[in-house]
Structure 1
């Protein structure tokens, strides 16, 4: 197990729960329905990729390749930019923050793509070993 990524996924999960609760109990009365939907999207993607980071931590024990760290970096930076920009946009209403969101989305997609590449590479190596 990769304990660095386990730590990162734990912190990410803690923050996802905190942001979700904060949004549901403190922000909801003061937000428009449109901004509530934006905030909920941020929380959902934050949670999805917290579990992806946990998978990176667990896979790190079985796949000894530096690419697994790049998967984690893409997921982490993707959450920070994607969910982070949506959190800020929905709380502040500053619309230009929405221009940052696609960069985070590209990083999240890159993380998944790298995971696919790594899985194929690992499968080929296992086939050669057998």
Structure 2
């Protein structure tokens, strides 16, 4: 397995760990602290982090099997960037960070969408590696 593939898989696993922890926190601790709208927004960020953490796992694994792998790994890094920009800014603003921080949220959504487009293109163009 390539070093970039290992790093991307580790980032995906850590992202999924954080999403699990924050989901549990939202379910068992934030309901007493946040208003219902902020709590729902926080949960949306958890959901998107889960979806794209699983996407990172998938493209990292596919990137080890298909060429050109760099496109699939690029999709994974776009998912990672989207998680920080989208979910991260939603978490922060739901927990009381200044509203201007939320101006980065749409950039995270664009990273998510770009990652899926790059993934689709890469899979369409990929040539399978022949196993010996």
TM-score by length of 1: 0.88
In the alignment, is residue 62 of structure 1 matched against residue 65 of structure 2? yes
Q: Does 1:92 align with 2:124?
A: no
CA RMSD of aligned residues (A): 1.4
Q: Which consecutive segments of 4 or more residues in structure 1 shift more than 3 A? A: none
Q: Which moved more, 1:109-118 or 1:24-33?
A: 24-33
Residue number in structure 1 paired with 2:38? 35
Question: In 1, distance between residues paired with 2:110 and 2:99?
Answer: 19
Q: Is the 8 A contact 2:78 2:111 kept in 1?
A: yes
Question: How many pairs were matched up?
Answer: 124
TM-score (norm 2): 0.87
Which runs of no fewer than 5 residues in structure 1 stay unpaired?
Answer: none
C-alpha separation in 2, matches of 1:38 and 1:93: 14
Deviations 1:79-100 (A, max 9, x none): 0100000000101153222211
1:116 and 2:114 aligned: no
